[in-house]
Amino acid sequence: MPYYELIVKSDEEVDGPALEAATGLRCTPLDRLARLDGELVDDAALHGVIVRVFRLGLDLRAVEQRSGHH
């Protein structure tokens, strides 16, 4: 499965557990930024995560597909 890393920005401190619950990805909060990472089964799953990020009012700053993570 493809492994992705997304960087998101919030106007407030990021709620890591809520973001993990909403996206199904591991969240590493960094004040108003957060790194989300994990495996997504396909492009549709990635698009679903992106939609949820926007619905939470977060700005998507970066999306990268990574290799070598399992």
Which domains does the chain show, CATH number per domain? 3-66 (3.30.70)
Q: Which residues of 18-40 are buried (b: 16+ CB within 10 A; e: fewer)?
A: ebbebbebebebeeebbbbbbeb
Mean pLDDT over 33-39 rounds to: 96
Cα gap 31→51, rounded to integer Å = 22
Mean pLDDT over 18-44 rounds to: 94
| pLDDT-derived band at 30, boundaries 50, 70, 90 | confident
Query: Is 33's pLDDT higher than 90?
Result: yes
- Mean pLDDT, rounded, of the chain: 93
Instruction: Kindly list the strands in the beta sheet with 26-30, ordered across the sheet, starting from the edge strand earlier in the chain.
Output: 26-30, 33-39, 3-9, 59-66
What's the token pair of residue 44? 């549709």
Query: Is 68's pLDDT higher than 80?
Result: no
Query: Is 70's pLDDT higher than 60?
Result: no
CB atoms within 10 A of CB 48: 14
Query: Is 40's pLDDT higher than 60?
Result: yes
